[in-house]
Structure 1
Amino acid sequence: MIPQIQIQQVFGQIGIRYSPAHWEIHTRQADLTIDAPAAELTIHTIPGRLDIDQTEAFADEGLRTPLEFSKHQAALARQAAAQGVADTADWGQRFLHIEQGDPLPQWVMRYRDHQRQFAPQLVPRPFSVKIHYQPGHVDIKAHVQPVRVSAVTHPVEVEFQPGSVHTYLARAPQLRVISPPMAALADVRA
């Protein structure tokens, strides 16, 4: 038998460790200013007009118009005032001469026959009162000011760490040579 040399080989192993790249991006919030001036509002009002004509209603009842009735009442009041002044002056003269025996109760009773005049209540016939209404007008004007927006931005801060690859020896390569025993070699020589 021929002696043989044995060779045992174990391959080496290389390990790879990978670290990914790292990004960080920072920015501060922008400073935002909004300026909105108040709107200018102008309101112009023209009032409505209401006309009520009762002339026909008073004429239907045989009455004077309110203006004519007021003038007539004023004339009667002036006449009553003048008569009252005259009566008072007359009674004053009598009062000075009490010794003449004028009785006081007659002076008081002079108002017994005083007549009061009242304006009669008027219930007009339908549609005899003319009513005309002219509506008013409201004019509104608004002047809106523009809104001003101002923004102050801040620079962006970027941090970057590149990725890395690390290699390492996971298992060292081995080569083992086993020689035949010496006795086996001696047999071969003989």
Structure 2
Amino acid sequence: MQLAKIQMQSTMAQIGFTTRKPELDIQQPQTELNIRQEAAVLEIKQDPGVLSIDSSRAREVMGLRTPLQFSDENFQFAKQQLMSAIGQISEEGDSMRAIEHKGNAIATLAIDKIGIVPTPLSAPSSPDEGVDISFQARPVEITVQRRGMKMEPVRKAPVFSYKAGDVNLYMQKYQQLRIEVVGLHVNQSL
């Protein structure tokens, strides 16, 4: 005896999916440093030097005198002339007093008084001789003022951009269940 059989066939459902990856973009803008070098200040100071030209010896050699030297020399000359005159007057008095010596004392004195001797002037040996020149330089003062560097950085934050990912699900294959009765000449599908 033949029994009927039930035969079942099933296929599993299959799910398909497509994905789109997320996108993360990070950009870091460069920081601006803004470096500025301040110029240094340099000061150079020097007082003017002292130039001394002393020509008093040269003037003396040439016979040119200052009023003080001139009056001093005149005083010395007058003193010498006075002493000489006193001595001469004394001698003249002595010669006139000596009557015992025969001779004409007054005539002799008159001959001596005819000429006057001028004071001699010294001739210069060289016009530049005796000029003393001296120069005294003043010290140089140098000051340097460093002003340094100024930096003003501008920091920039990173820039983020994000696109979320996506998953699309779909049925690639639906499930199926197939039942068949086999045997007894029954061949019908349900």
Band of TM-score, shorter chain: 0.3 to 0.5
Structure 1 length normalisation: TM-score?
Answer: 0.37
Structure whose alpha-carbon radius of gyration is higher: 2
TM-score (norm 2): 0.37
Would you tell me which structure has more helix in proportion to its own residues? 1
